[in-house]
Amino acid sequence: MYTPLALAATAAILVSAQTLNVTNSTSGYTSYSTVTGYFLQDEATTNASTFDYTATNFGLINSSYPATTGNLTQWQKFEAQVDALNANAPLNTVYKVLFMGRHGEGYHNAAQTFYGTPAWNCYWGEKDGNATTTWEDADLTPAGIAQALVAATFWQHQITTQLIPYPQSYYTSPLTRCLRTANLTFSALDLPHYYPFVPTVRELFREGISIHTCDHRSSRSSIAARFPSYAIDASLTENDEIWNGVTAEPSDAQDARSKKVLDSVFASDDHAWISITSHSGEIASILRVLGHQVFSLNTGAVIPVLVKAAFLPSGPAPSSPAYTTSTHCAAPPVTSLASLAQGCVCSGTVVGGITTRIDGNGTSSSSGSVAAYPTAYATS
Ligand SMILES: *[C@@H]1O[C@H](CO)[C@@H](O)[C@H](O)[C@H]1NC(C)=O
Ligand SMILES: *[C@@H]1O[C@H](CO)[C@@H](O)[C@H](O)[C@H]1NC(C)=O
Ligand SMILES: *[C@@H]1O[C@H](CO)[C@@H](O)[C@H](O)[C@H]1NC(C)=O
Ligand SMILES: *[C@@H]1O[C@H](CO)[C@@H](O)[C@H](O)[C@H]1NC(C)=O
Ligand SMILES: *[C@@H]1O[C@H](CO)[C@@H](O)[C@H](O)[C@H]1NC(C)=O
Ligand SMILES: *[C@@H]1O[C@H](CO)[C@@H](O)[C@H](O)[C@H]1NC(C)=O
Ligand SMILES: *[C@@H]1O[C@H](CO)[C@@H](O)[C@H](O)[C@H]1NC(C)=O
Ligand SMILES: *[C@@H]1O[C@H](CO)[C@@H](O)[C@H](O)[C@H]1NC(C)=O
């Protein structure tokens, strides 16, 4: 899950950050940019915290584009404009519209609110749940289900009244809250037979990896059993081989893998209208890769982005920055500070935090460096 405090702390302990590999790639490079001027979410004056995509036609700005004439809805005009951009683009360039939806509220979101961010980051988030709630690979709360149904109702309204282009391809994170949100949003819509709702489950559309159990996905076979109509990508391994409960993914590593999954989609999917169901932290990372301004989504919200992709002969070689080790506490913490590793100030005799995996399977991971815990912050 996206916890600003944890991310700020992660950045602060990035002592082992690698310098970018400046050697050019030899096998091609996809360069992305956001085409601005079409959506309110691109405008510096739009306030993300109060923005309501359902009250603003998904944010589409009223315009009669040069390419369009006739009595068309705004979305039909925009569709004609996107068609014109593609028709006039050089052979190495393509335009696509990505509809990126954040999952509805999950049990982990509710628990973070309930316990407060310090106690969530340093103790509760590392547990599978409490006596009454489970948040490992969290499912949606009733409020989260309602948010996904708001998205479903709005999509149907847009299809009926705006004749908005249907998504032609669907992708989703493998985490349960996204699998569920995508189903609730799209499975009951009146969709054409030639663009059915059969989402591809892609590992790399998952949330940024923290040591929180909400980022630990279920097995491939569990996903297949619960969402039998979904197309699970061949590369999704049976067990989660990325989450280990010890190390966390810094934002430069997350951006590198966000680019990797976008590169894969843009290289293999010739559809122009694409839906991606993902997470706040991951959509924020994708927006960075696309050169979009920061735009934080509330749970259940959707952002459309007009993307221009240019396929170049070479560019910067891909980098894979190291994950970093996070600490946490054996008991609820006294407080947390953004300047420390995960900001944890533990109570009791534990001064070093815990750097072994906490899912009960195995001991310390060998990857990542252990952040020294400042004993000055230990309390008794
Ligand atoms: C840097 O990029 C080159 C060319 O792609 C590659 O051979 C090399 O292994 C990379 N080095 C690192 C440290 O990633
Ligand atoms: C955005 O809206 C929130 C909530 O009304 C407000 O607190 C914040 O100051 C606004 N931000 C800007 C940049 O106007
Ligand atoms: C855009 O046009 C629609 C219909 O013509 C109108 O209802 C809506 O208020 C307009 N939006 C803006 C932001 O002007
Ligand atoms: C434009 O289309 C709308 C609905 O698609 C219709 O209600 C309206 O009468 C049309 N206007 C003209 C001038 O044809
Ligand atoms: C467990 O956490 C939830 C918040 O997600 C809270 O509502 C509930 O009261 C907690 N249960 C206990 C036993 O503390
Ligand atoms: C998908 O959503 C539909 C309602 O649109 C519901 O009937 C069905 O049980 C859901 N399936 C899963 C696997 O959640
Ligand atoms: C290396 O990539 C940069 C873009 O990042 C490009 O400007 C430059 O021409 C490339 N150099 C070679 C030798 O391909
Ligand atoms: C526990 O760890 C072993 C060895 O790393 C692995 O094979 C097994 O799948 C793990 N079990 C679970 C439930 O993660």
Any ligand 2 atom below 6 A from CB of 49? yes
Asked if the model's pLDDT at residue 67 lies above 90, the reply is no
- Residue of 172, 187, 189, 191 best suited for mutating to test ligand 6, as the one with most atoms within 8 Å of CB: 187
The CA 214 to ligand 5 mean position distance, Å, reads 15
pLDDT recorded at residue 90? 97
Atom of ligand 2 nearest to the CA of 47: 1
- d(C-alpha 211, C-alpha 121), whole Å: 9
Any ligand 6 atom below 6 A from CB of 183? yes
Atom of ligand 5 nearest to the CA of 110: 5
Lowest-pLDDT range, 46-55, 83-92, 245-254, 357-366? 357-366
Indicate which residue of 207, 212, 249, 279 is catalytic: 207
Whether 207 sits among the annotated catalytic residues: the reply is yes
What's phi and psi for 184, nearest 5 deg?
-65, -30
pLDDT recorded at residue 172? 98
pLDDT recorded at residue 245? 84
Taking the CA of 59 as reference, the closest ligand is 3
Nearest CA to ligand 5 atom 4: 111
Whether 216 sits among the annotated catalytic residues: the reply is no
More confident residue, 120 or 297: 297
Residue-by-residue DSSP string for 320-369: -PPPEE----SS--SEE-TTSGGGEE--TT--S---S-SSSSSS--SSSP
Q: 293: closest CA among 279, 303, 308, 301?
A: 303
Taking the CA of 105 as reference, the closest ligand is 5
Where does residue 154 rank: exposed (0-12), middle (13-18), buried (19+ CB within 10 A)? middle
The CA 126 to ligand 5 mean position distance, Å, reads 15
Any ligand 6 atom below 6 A from CB of 320? no
- d(C-alpha 365, C-alpha 303), whole Å: 37
- d(C-alpha 277, C-alpha 102), whole Å: 6
Q: What region does 4 belong to: left with phi over 0, alpha with psi -120 to 50, or beta?
A: alpha
Tens of pLDDT, residue by residue over 85-95, are 999 999 999 99
More confident residue, 348 or 116: 116
Do the Cβ atoms of 179 and 201 come closer than 8 Å? Answer: yes
Q: Which structural domains are found in the chain, ordered by start?
A: 23-105+140-208+249-312 (3.40.50.1240)
CA 2 to the chain's CA centroid: 9
Question: Which residues make beta-bridge pairs with 172?
Answer: 201, 277
Mean pLDDT for the stretch of residues 241-264? 93
Q: Provide the sign of the torsion angle of the four alpha carbons 244, 100, 122, 331, taken in this order.
A: negative
In 158-201, which residue ranges form alpha helices assigned H by DSSP? 176-186
- Residue of 115, 133, 134, 177 best suited for mutating to test ligand 5, as the one with most atoms within 8 Å of CB: 133
Taking the CA of 45 as reference, the closest ligand is 2
The CA 323 to ligand 5 mean position distance, Å, reads 31
Residue 258, SS3 per DSSP = helix
Where does residue 348 rank: exposed (0-12), middle (13-18), buried (19+ CB within 10 A)? middle
How far does the chain reach from its first CA to its final CA, in angstroms?
A: 30
Tens of pLDDT, residue by residue over 279-338, are 999 999 999 999 999 999 999 999 999 999 999 998 888 888 888 877 777 777 666 555
- Residue of 20, 31, 314 best suited for mutating to test ligand 7, as the one with most atoms within 8 Å of CB: 314
Whole-model pTM?
0.83
- d(C-alpha 368, C-alpha 373), whole Å: 15
pLDDT recorded at residue 1? 53
Nearest CA to ligand 7 atom 4: 315
Asked if the model's pLDDT at residue 178 lies above 90, the reply is yes
pLDDT level of residue 374 (50, 70, 90 thresholds): very low
Tens of pLDDT, residue by residue over 129-172, are 999 999 999 999 999 999 999 999 999 999 999 999 999 999 99
More confident residue, 342 or 64: 64
Residue with tokens 């946490």: 328
pLDDT recorded at residue 358? 47
pLDDT recorded at residue 355? 52
The CA 256 to ligand 1 mean position distance, Å, reads 14
Mean pLDDT (the chain) is: 84
- d(C-alpha 352, C-alpha 376), whole Å: 11
Mean pLDDT for the stretch of residues 10-32? 55
Beta strands in 27-162 (DSSP E): 29-34, 93-102
pLDDT level of residue 246 (50, 70, 90 thresholds): confident
The CA 317 to ligand 1 mean position distance, Å, reads 7
pLDDT recorded at residue 335? 61
The CA 49 to ligand 2 mean position distance, Å, reads 7
Mean pLDDT for the stretch of residues 187-196? 96
Do the Cβ atoms of 91 and 313 come closer than 8 Å? Answer: no
Q: Report the interhelical angle of 251-268 vs 280-289 (nearest 10°).
A: 70
pLDDT recorded at residue 65? 87
CA atoms within 13 A on the CB side of 71: 0
What's phi and psi for 72, nearest 5 deg?
-115, 155
Do the Cβ atoms of 117 and 328 come closer than 8 Å? Answer: no
H or E segment to which residue 302 belongs: strand 302-312
